[in-house]
Amino acid sequence: MAAENNNDLPVDPFEPFRGMRDAYLEGMSKVMVNAVNSEEYAEATGAMLNGYLTLTAPFRDALDKAMIMALEQLSLPSRQQVTSLSERFTNFEMRLDDMDAKLDRLIELASQSRSPATEDLPAAKVTGDVTASKTIENQPAARATRDLPAAKAAANPSAAKATGSASYDKRAAGAEAKSSRHTGARKA
């Protein structure tokens, strides 16, 4: 019976070589692991890399200079200039993030004190209405409620549930409304 079943299987042309192959690779693996773990290998690869870097350095320099000249002729910024611009952008981002942190802190302090003025602004709180929020933009606690999806969820957890958002407890929803103010949580 077993023999019949074996006969039904398609012929694998590699079958006779499989055992031999595995044994060979196992032995080869040990040899290679020992080889790459040796001082000689480290020295050889180090020398190769060093040689490559030394040999290509003049060409890289020449290419860089030629590229800078060509870009200058075409009135295009060089890589260095773009890089420097990018670094400045990152710096801006950091400063914005710092401001964001400070604003969050202000909002937190304001919400702790719970000033009656902010509680009197239901329109901005519930709908995140831009017109309403314009009138209160100097009041940090009200700002917190301006962000749309999270603020709506905060104001109306059941609606958030119905639209497929995660259900929020009051504290989490409030926190979410605060923090997504600037980032505007985006779907990834």
Residue 109 interacting with other proteins (CB under 8 A): no
DSSP 121: -
Tell me: does residue 47 bind other proteins (CB under 8 A): yes
* Total Cβ atoms within 10 A of residue 136: 20
* Interaction between residue 33 and other proteins (CB under 8 A): yes
In this structure, what DSSP letter does residue 38 have? S
Helix axis angle, 79-113 relative to 170-183, nearest 10°?
Answer: 150
Q: Give Cβ neighbours of residue 53 (< 8 Å, ≥ 6 apart).
A: none
Closest-CA residue to 151 (of 175, 186, 119, 117): 175
- The reply on whether position 62 binds other proteins by CB under 8 A is no
Number of residues in contact with other proteins, rule: CB under 8 A? Answer: 58
Binding flag, residue 166, other proteins (CB under 8 A) = yes
Q: Which residues bind other proteins (CB under 8 A)?
A: 7-8, 10-14, 18, 21, 25, 28-29, 32-33, 36-37, 39, 41-43, 45-47, 49-50, 53, 56-57, 60, 79, 82-84, 86-87, 90, 93-94, 97, 101, 104, 166-169, 171-172, 174-176, 178-180, 183, 185-188
